[in-house]
Amino acid sequence: MKKFLSIIMVTLLSLSYSAFAQEEESSKPELSISGSIDAYYRAVLSGGTNDASDGSSLAPSTSFANQTGFALGMANVIVGMDGEKTGFVADLAFGPRGTDAVFLATTASSSIVNQLYAYWNVSETVTLTVGNFNTFLGYEVISPTGNYNYSTSYMFSFGPFSHTGLKADIALGEASLMLAVLNPTDATDFNPTGDYAFGAQVGYGGAYLNTILSDDFYQVDLTAGWDLTDAIYLGVNATKAKDSFTGAALYLQNSFSDDFSMGIRGEYFKDEGVGAIAMDENVIDLTLSANYSVGALTIIPEFRIDMLSYDGFIDDNDGFDFSDEENPIWVNPTLSKSMSSFTLAAVYAF
């Protein structure tokens, strides 16, 4: 595997060497600043609690939007420079959502770095990127401005968030190809093990086949999206991660006006060792969201229900037994197969 990755690395570097004698930038690139802030209110309606001090379930085991009451998402500030040939992106995230996204960061300063990369347009068809960038797998992303639903799916939550490495994006007419050499998944600061993974993406007609491959792991992922009409959009995501999980989701959205739309996400997720839910059990989650825009502000009311194949949510609990202080246990829990919740989020993009 390491020999294979070395060949890929040499291939990527040779792409840059072959075009090294390019002309200098014809104009000075301009600095850009963009980003977003988000906050939300969330309440558990059934199958859990709004006070988890007794060990009851507070939220499904997905990422973000997992607190109750009024809570914070993140402040996202993206500084970039986009030149004719070269550029960079410094994407900084502050707050709970950002901290959760960079969960393997090893220093306080790197824990606010969502993305940090430089790129070179080697030719009209080839772009090289080096640094830390968000994953190319899956339908959803870290920033709430890139998702329709505010809460996230199980597939996104337990798939990769980000990668650090070198990638080449290659335009092939109506198709596209991406090849990458990467650190272990979500090891964004540096490579802690000396192992590398190979990443690839093939795109055509609004559909993308994605994969990550290493010595002892693989994940294959399909994402696609189509405008069925001027008002109706359909998105699809299906994925398989070795010894971890299998899942599939549909995303259907309808625009009623320029400012108002509604959409539903339906997901099936089976745990095959990742630890999201019980081993070899599955969950179906349905999420109904509305998006109402007031200028740059998007208000997202959302109703979500998670339905397990077993009794896994702790609906009520008498408390903890602390007779063993290191391993307290639940006392007389009332278990439920489903949890429903309501979220009202506000996302402002700039």
Is residue 180 pLDDT above 90, yes or no?
Answer: yes
- What's the pLDDT at 20? 47
Whole-angstrom CA distances from 282 to 190, 211, 248, 271 are 34, 23, 12, 6
Read off φ and ψ for residue 302, nearest 5 degrees.
-145, 135
57-66, 193-202, 322-331: least confident range: 322-331
Q: Which H helix or E strand runs over 16?
A: helix 2-18
- What's the pLDDT at 9? 55
Going by pLDDT thresholds of 50, 70 and 90, the confidence category of residue 332 is confident
Whole-angstrom CA distances from 147 to 101, 162, 253, 289, 348 are 15, 16, 12, 11, 13
Interatomic CA distance for residues 35 and 77, integer angstroms: 5
User: In sequence order, what are the beta bridge partners of 167?
Assistant: 129, 180
Interatomic CA distance for residues 39 and 50, integer angstroms: 17
% of the chain surpassing 70 pLDDT = 90
Interatomic CA distance for residues 109 and 196, integer angstroms: 24
Read off φ and ψ for residue 218, nearest 5 degrees.
-150, 150
Going by pLDDT thresholds of 50, 70 and 90, the confidence category of residue 6 is low
- What's the pLDDT at 126? 98
Q: For 140-167, how does the pLDDT look when each residue is reduced to its tens digit (9 = 90+)?
A: 999 999 999 999 999 999 999 999 999 9
Q: What is the pTM of this model?
A: 0.88
Is the CB of residue 221 less than 8 Å from the CB of residue 239? yes
- What's the pLDDT at 22? 46
114-140 burial string, b = 16+ CB within 10 Å, else e?
bbbbebbbbeeebbbbebbbbbbbbbb
Is residue 343 helix, strand or coil? strand
Work out the average pLDDT over 229-256: 98
The dihedral through the CA atoms of 206, 246, 277, 252 has a sign that is positive
- Which one is predicted more confidently, 18 or 92? 92
Is residue 307 helix, strand or coil? strand
Domains of the chain with bracketed CATH:
2-14+34-349 (2.40.160.10)
Is residue 184 helix, strand or coil? coil
User: In sequence order, what are the beta bridge partners of 211?
Assistant: 200, 220
Amino acid at 192: P
DSSP string of 256-282?
SSSSEEEEEEEEEEEESSSSSSSTT-E
- What's the pLDDT at 291? 98
- Which one is predicted more confidently, 10 or 253? 253
- Which one is predicted more confidently, 29 or 25? 29
Is residue 285 pLDDT above 70, yes or no?
Answer: yes
28-37, 113-122, 298-307, 323-332: least confident range: 323-332
Work out the average pLDDT over 305-309: 98
- What's the pLDDT at 324? 73
Cα 304–330–45 angle (5° rounding)?
Answer: 20
- What's the pLDDT at 21? 43
Quote the mean pLDDT of the chain: 92
With CA atoms as reference, report the closest residue to 310 among 290, 280, 330, 333: 280
